């Protein structure tokens, strides 16, 4: 598959420092985004530690296949997805240990990470940073927020409309580093030509509606330009939080089956048109 990826982060219009972090590791087709918790330097440290740990663990595993897993492997997902779960688990341990070694320091981070292998997507997340898939005009959220208001919506305590205006939106029920152990959500998907994958912090989704995000992804190319435009929109609408975006597009493969089918179809149509002209 041919991949076009771009990313952008911004402090926003209200905050004084950027507690978000992200990495596009093209050599691995690995995409990682984290939103730090703790304020000031603590949030920055937590998100940077989360991103660096995930990338380093996956890189080490690619170079040394005997690299141990830090979780009991799940039988229902692939080896690569288990590795990504292990990376997030290790990040949780490092953030927790870092906070525990400093009196009166509380830090944590969200994580959303996507790892591609051909058309297979391994996806893990903890917290309220999200992954979306845009396919054929349908914009679907692939992750479920680990936040108090999201849980209240799932239980029917709040409506989605009430959740959007709740003062408790920033309260997380799960995050890296908040506990010694963490449950990492993991899933797998098959990507198709024309798909767009979006990873983002809540600085985007609290300021820009899903239809506007989908429209921007549809109308703005390449991926870097789309990422930059989404960050601009968040700031135009107030920029109340740090905002970070990664856009990953699956481009048509010039040697792929669908492209060969299109070329065959064009040649067949041209031959029919030529035969029709001869007969007229």
Residue 42 and residue 44: Cα distance in Å, rounded? 5
- The pLDDT of residue 206: 94
Residue ranges and CATH numbers for the domains of the chain are 2-279 (3.60.40.10)
Beta-strand relationship, 30-37 and 20-25: antiparallel
Could you give the 3-state DSSP secondary structure of residue 257?
helix
Both tokens of 15, joined, read: 């905050």
- The pLDDT of residue 273: 65
- The pLDDT of residue 255: 55
- The pLDDT of residue 170: 81
Tens of pLDDT along the chain (280 residues) come to 799 999 999 999 999 999 999 999 999 999 999 999 987 679 999 999 999 999 999 999 999 989 999 999 999 999 999 999 999 999 999 999 999 888 778 899 999 999 999 999 999 999 999 999 999 999 999 999 998 988 898 989 898 888 888 878 888 999 999 999 999 999 999 999 999 999 999 999 999 999 999 999 999 999 999 999 999 999 999 999 999 999 999 998 765 555 555 556 666 676 676 666 666 5
CA atoms within 13 A on the CB side of 76: 5
- The pLDDT of residue 260: 54
Size of the chain in residues: 280
**Whole-number Cα distances in Å, 42 to 11, 13, 84, 100, 170:** 15, 20, 24, 12, 17
Residue 270 gets which letter from DSSP? H
Q: What is the C-alpha R_g of the chain?
A: 21
- The pLDDT of residue 254: 63
Cβ within 8 Å of residue 230, ≥6 positions away: 8, 200, 204, 208, 213, 216, 217, 243, 245, 247
Using alpha carbons only, what angle is made at residue 188 by residues 69 and 261, rounded to the nearest 5 degrees? 130
Residue 86 and residue 141: Cα distance in Å, rounded? 23
CB 134 within 8 A of CB 217: yes
Q: How large is the angle between the packed helices 79-100 and 40-63, nearest 10 degrees? A: 140
């Amino acid at each position: 598959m041919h991949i076009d990826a771009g990313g952008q982060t911004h402090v926003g219009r209200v905050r004084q420092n950027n507690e978000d972090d992200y990495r596009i590791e093209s050599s691995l087709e690995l995409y990682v985004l984290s939103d730090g918790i703790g304020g000031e330097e603590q949030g920055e440290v937590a998100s940077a530690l989360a991103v660096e740990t995930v990338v380093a663990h996956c890189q080490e595993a690619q170079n040394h296949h005997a690299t141990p897993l830090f979780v009991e492997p799940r039988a229902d997902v692939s080896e690569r997805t288990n590795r990504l779960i292990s990376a997030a688990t290790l990040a949780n341990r490092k953030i927790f240990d870092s906070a525990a070694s400093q009196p009166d320091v509380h830090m944590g981070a969200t994580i959303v990470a996507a790892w591609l292998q051909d058309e297979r997507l391994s996806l893990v997340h903890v917290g309220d940073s999200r992954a979306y898939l845009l396919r054929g005009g349908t914009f679907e959220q692939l992750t479920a927020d680990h936040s108090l208001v999201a849980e209240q919506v799932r239980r029917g305590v709040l409506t989605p409309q009430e959740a959007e205006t709740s003062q408790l939106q920033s309260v997380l029920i799960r995050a890296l580093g908040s506990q010694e152990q963490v449950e990492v959500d993991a899933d797998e998907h098959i990507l198709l030509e024309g798909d767009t994958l979006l990873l983002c912090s809540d600085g985007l989704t609290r300021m820009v509606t899903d239809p506007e995000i989908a429209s921007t992804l549809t109308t703005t190319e390449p991926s870097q330009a789309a990422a930059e435009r989404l960050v601009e929109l968040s700031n135009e609408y107030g920029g109340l939080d740090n905002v970070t975006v990664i856009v990953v597009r699956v481009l048509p493969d010039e040697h792929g089956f669908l492209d060969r089918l299109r070329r065959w179809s064009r040649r067949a149509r041209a031959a029919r048109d030529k035969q029709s002209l001869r007969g007229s």
